[in-house]
Structure 1
Amino acid sequence: MVTRGPAARRRPRALSPLREHLRDTFWFAPTAAMAIVFVVWLGAQALDTAVVEALQEDGDHETLDELLRFAQDAKAVVSAVGSAMMTFIGVVFSISLVAVQMASGQFTPRVVRLFVRSRITKATFAVFLATFVLTLLVLTAFDTADDPRTVTSVPLVQSVLTLVMVALSLLLFVLYVNTTLRLMRISHVIARIATESFRVAASMPVPAGGEDAAGLGPATAWVPHEGRAGVLRDVHIARLVRVARSHGVVLRLIPRIGDFVVPGTPVLAVHGGPAPPRRALRYTVSVGVERTYHQDLGFGLRQLSDIALRALSPAINDPTTAVQALDRVVQFLAALSRHPLDAVRHRDRGGTVRLVQPVPGWTELVDLGFTEVRGCATGSPQVSRRMLAGLDDLLLLAPPERREPLLRHRELLRQAVDRSAPAPADRAFALRPDRQGIG
């Protein structure tokens, strides 16, 4: 188990990336749902068979006749449900494609991940497919015998289960449409990005600022990256800590989460002994084609900056959206204004540092949040006023040693506005701090 540091009072969950990797996939939930519904159907079929056998042993042929009549009616309902579910699945799939296309075109292509990670979307597809599979299984369970003495099974429980799944499908469809409409609105997309970013910040152990390699001594070995080239998505922190503890060394991650790594380049530095064997470090580094929220502290700011830049482009020209993105940028930076940055130290049970993980520093986060937006803000007083107000708020919250990048961006914004607005009145208006932009 990995602790958060000497000041921690409780142990977090195991820092395994498997759960986050499954959340970034779309196949797992529907596949699991279809497997589960198959197991449930087997149980329902066994129960129906037991009911029929009990009635035959008691000689209750009248009840069996009623069940057979019910089965004939239920068969028509189940057949109709099976056809309708395929139509529903096509409608949901079409809505998802349109929503993803609109969101990626108007906001940024990186927000597509929000749709993939949406629990309601996955649950809707999973329940719809499970209901369709259930109808096919139930149809195979209908007995063609008309004599109550020779019938082997009447799918009574299975039919009721199908109706329950239909009701659940209709409820999820309503929730799915509501969730999709919300995700097509930029304010909710920005809020979701901020929520994911704060979740990353809250799940990270308390770091020690500026101590990424201090006190570790020189590196005694290097571990190169093996496998395909790609973006470093995350690392299996718990496993790396266990490996370092069992071999009596300290591991230091060289690239940051989100960096592009190529085979053969060093990915881990070893301090205090020889490098652990390759088989012990297998599956500890995850590489993909794009960045993810998991362990990536700057990915949320990257998305917010992209949304603001897209909104300020001449093709869209939507400064209000840029202001909404800046609101969340300021909120995120304010939460980290007094938080130690630059490096995270993961410790074992005994409190010994076993893994040092680099994270973006304060200056890098401020530059990520403001640099590119500031370059496009000179032609929009609404954005320049909101940025100035945000910088002033951060100057009040940040400690003195962290004010330099904020003052630098404030001065660069003032100079840019001076160059773009020749009239003194326009300059004064554009440089007046306003939390609403133009309130």
Structure 2
Amino acid sequence: MIPLSRNSAVFGLNIDPIGHHNGAWRHPLTQVSRAYDISYSLELSRMADAAGLDMVFIADGLSVNRYAPDSVVLGFEPLTLLSAVAVNTRNVGLVCTVSSTFTEPYNLARMMSSLDRISHGRAAWNVVTTANPNAALNFGPETLPDHDSRYERAAEFLDVATALWTGWQADAVVADKDRGMYFDPDRVAVTGHHGQFFTVEGPLNAPRSPQGKPVIVQAGASATGRDFAARYADIVYMVSQDLEDAKAYYQDIKRRARDHGRAESDILVIMSVRVLVEQHDNAAQERAAELAELVSAEATLKRVSSFIGVDLTRYALDDVLPPLPEADDIQGYRTQLALVRRLVQSGQVRTLRELATRLNGGQGVLSFTGDGRSVCDNLQLWFEEKAADGFMILPQQTQRDAENFVKFSLPVIRSKPFGRQRPEGATFRSRLFG
């Protein structure tokens, strides 16, 4: 094992079995049935584990839009899937997406504690506050709580969950057969929480797990979201298409972390990057063109409209983009709206057609297409420019690009100082932070 360098990047793999180009499911090389085949998700996870990647990640949503039949439907609930992954892998961290808006702290704390124990200390919780208004219709309310309320609930949620996780001292289970004492009640704290959103007496009905509490992951674009991430998260996900914007975000998160009394090294900023990789650049460009043919500009704009809350389909493709609201003025997906606004303000896109082309069959995640070396060079640039501490790799067409990234890009990455593999740790947290 190569020793850990302080200048080495963190790498994760999103194990969506279809891919992160909206045309991936339509491509002849894609077997759609693999989306619902646990063996393929396990294959991807074992590959990431064997390659020494730091984490695997699964996103989640809580609704389906039956009027968008071109959208891929998720195959597995993340906690269930990652429990299976846990017993089929050894070292890789397991990042599980769960909404703080539509679950309860006690249940979530118990489930994440179980995943941490099943995985021997590799669990991570990606905290999402759920910006899709359709999700609310599946849980009782007719409308989604407003943006700031969702983050207020999430903050209280984290406080309660943390109290539950840490309420058990590591040596609380004594199993003293002579005295008939299974656990020492003096080593177990009652939570006793009575707050704005939750009333939780506690303690948790599970002893402390290997990590004590899972690694916390979050993505925030608004000022509220950034401050939440800087206060609670170990890993912050970032989406950007502009190097200078990414550097500014990175520095802002680190500054906010310091303001909360944390060291900059206590929090990692991980950038999402879509990759399309082939052995030779011309082959990569050819497949990229094939994928582009499978998604129309109109379909891309329809999808973007649903994220940013502005109906772009009302305009002609060569029209200039209409005025866009400020990201902090909407209740929906502020990350995507902020990204589109930056593209327009910087002059990188002017018309709706240019926007659709720039998004390249996605929601705005930066894309690197080429051979293994060119993808490595791009990642190295963003890392060395201090735009990110690492990367979440999103294969554009998973059934081709996941394996190709490991086969063609990763060996080049590992040969560079920034790509040195982190040593095996007793837990995911120790692997990340030592």
With normalisation by structure 1, the TM-score equals 0.22
- Larger Rg belongs to: 1
Select the structure that is richer in strand: 2
Instruction: Answer 1 or 2: higher relative contact order, Cα 8 Å, separation at least 6.
Output: 2
With normalisation by structure 2, the TM-score equals 0.22
Select the structure that is richer in helix: 1
